Amino acid sequence: MLTIDGFRHVLPSPGDRRGSLLAVLSSSGYLRRENSRGGEFYALILFSIVGQSIMASANELIHDFHRLKISSIASYILAGYLRDRMRAITRVH
Amino acid sequence: MKGVRIGEPSHDGADRARVGRDLPLLILMVWMGTFTQTFLARDQPQNARILGRLKRSQTHPVPALAEAKRYGYRQLLPTSSEYIRVLPEIILTLMGTLPHVLEAVTNENRKGIFAPLSIAGLAAALAGAVVAYRDPGPLSRTC
pLDDT digits (tens, 9 = 90+) for B64-106: 666 667 767 666 677 787 888 888 889 989 998 988 888 888 8
Do B143 and B85 sit in the same domain of this protein? yes
Query: Do B123 and B90 sit in the same domain of this protein?
Result: yes
Task: Please state the ipTM of this predicted complex.
Answer: 0.75
Collect all residues of chain A within an 8 Å Cβ-Cβ radius of residue B133: 6, 9-10
Q: Which domain holds residue B141?
A: 78-143
For residues B37 and B93, membership in a common domain is answered with no
Domain end marker among B34, B60, B86: B60
* DSSP secondary structure code for residue B4 in this structure: P
Q: Are residues B55 and B97 located together in one domain of the fold? A: no
How far apart CA B72 and CA B94 sit, in angstroms, is 30
User: pTM of the entire structure?
Assistant: 0.61
Q: For residue A90, what pLDDT band results from cuts at 50, 70 and 90?
A: low
- The residues spanned by each domain of chain A are 6-92
Which secondary structure element, helix H or strand E, spans residue A26, and what is its range? helix A12-33
DSSP B5: P
Planar angle of CA B67, A59, B80, nearest 5 degrees: 50
Residues of B with a Cβ under 8 Å from any A Cβ are 85-86, 88-89, 92-93, 95-100, 102-103, 106, 108, 111-112, 114-115, 117-119, 121-123, 125-126, 129, 132-133, 135-140, 143
Strands (E), B39-138: 137-138
Residue B133 belongs to a domain: yes
Q: Is residue B68 part of a domain?
A: no
Is there a single domain that holds both residue B44 and residue B92? no
Same structural domain, B45 and B84? no
Q: How far apart are CA A78 and CA B127, in angstroms?
A: 26
Task: Tell me if B70 is assigned to some domain.
Answer: no
Distance CA B15, CA B13 (A): 5
Spatial separation of the C-alpha atoms in residues A58 and B90, rounded to whole Å: 16
Q: Which residues of chain A lie closer than 8 angstroms to B89, CB-CB?
A: 50, 53-54
Q: Quick check: is B121 in a domain? A: yes
